[in-house]
Structure 1
Amino acid sequence: MTTTRREAVRRVLAANEGFRSAQDIFADLRADGSKIGLTTVYRALQALSDSGEVDVLRTNDGEAVYRACATEQHHHHLVCRSCGRTVEVEGPTVERWAESIGKEHGFTEVTHTVEVFGTCPACAGSA
């Protein structure tokens, strides 16, 4: 895959604050006249995820959605379940717990993913 295609996917993600599905990204690129294929979008997203440039989140129905990272540091997300607004948050208590529980059971190279869902102030105010 050419870097140009990966860059096109990166630009779509950078233009949006929330998480987007591969199909949404594909539709945006096609609407802008790109000839990119859906498989190429998935490959670009995987490469960007592997490099730490995008965050990946699983929705309640198991679909992977993607978002450009605002930071290169390990972080978690607070996600509005109404509008998808996302805030990157640190969780030092979670970090200590994950390391501790791994050690307790003899695990090494422990990693974790924590996503917190709620309703943002804007959505709560309009309800």
Structure 2
Amino acid sequence: MGEAEAEARSGRVRAARLRSTRQRRAVLETLGRCREFISAQELHTRLAGTGSTVGLTTVYRTLRELDRAGLVDVVRDEGGERLYLQRPTGEHRHHLICRDCGRSRPVDAEAVEEWAARLAETTGFTELEHTLELSGVCDRCR
């Protein structure tokens, strides 16, 4: 992981008003190396493989904080388990997830974002959040 990428990630954490703890940095660094969505337990296993002593409860708590701060994308797998992927930018994104292999692909969902903004405006809601999960079978698994 490059120094510029680590600094950008650190800046997003500060902007989200999260303290930069040793555990949070370890979770973010390991999550930043993931190219596909990952469960909290798998992330914990990878952390342990690096010699980190971050506990599983801390991993779950950190992921919840990162989600609330908008620093990760979250989807659920077929069994309902939450999977996480660090956002390369602060932008909310949507993903297509392969039900067979778990591979993910970001999609341009501008129409969804526009619809959500219109809905918030017409209903008078503020701070609107939404989740859109799209799954199918990718070209590799067909």
Please indicate, yes or no, whether the TM-score normalized by the shorter chain is above 0.5: yes
**Which residue in 1 is equivalent to 2:66?**
48
Matches within 5 A, 1:51-70: 51-70=69-88
Partner of 2:139: 121
Partners of 2:119 and 2:104 lie apart in 1 by: 28
Alpha-carbon offset, residue 111 of structure 1: 2.4
Q: Does 1:95 align with 2:121?
A: no
SS for the counterpart of 1:96 is helix
**How far apart, in 1, do the equivalents of 2:88 and 2:138 lie?**
19
**TM-score computed with the length of structure 1 as normaliser:** 0.81
Change (3 A) 1:26 1:47: same
The separation in 1 between residues aligned to 2:37 and 2:47, in whole angstroms, is 16
Alignment: residue pair count = 123
Q: Note if contact 2:95-2:133 (Cα within 8 Å) is conserved in structure 1.
A: yes
How far 1:107 moved relative to its partner? Answer: 4.3
Q: 2: CA distance between counterparts of 1:96 and 1:29?
A: 38
Structure with bigger RCO (C-alpha 8 Å, 6+ apart):
1
CA distance in 1, matches of 2:81, 2:139: 26
In the alignment, structure 2 segments of 5+ residues that lack a partner are 1-18
Distance 1:20 1:64, change over 3 A: same
Tell me how far apart the structure 2 counterparts of residues 107 and 64 of structure 1 sit (CA, whole Å): 30
Superposed counterparts of 1:1-80, under 5 Å: 3-80=21-98
Corresponding position: 1:108 with 2:125: yes
CA displacement at 1:101 relative to structure 2: 4.2
Query: Could you tell me how far apart the structure 2 residues matched to 1:74 and 1:29 are?
Result: 26
Once the 2 structures are TM-superposed, how far is the Cα of residue 122 of structure 1 from its aligned partner? Answer: 2.0
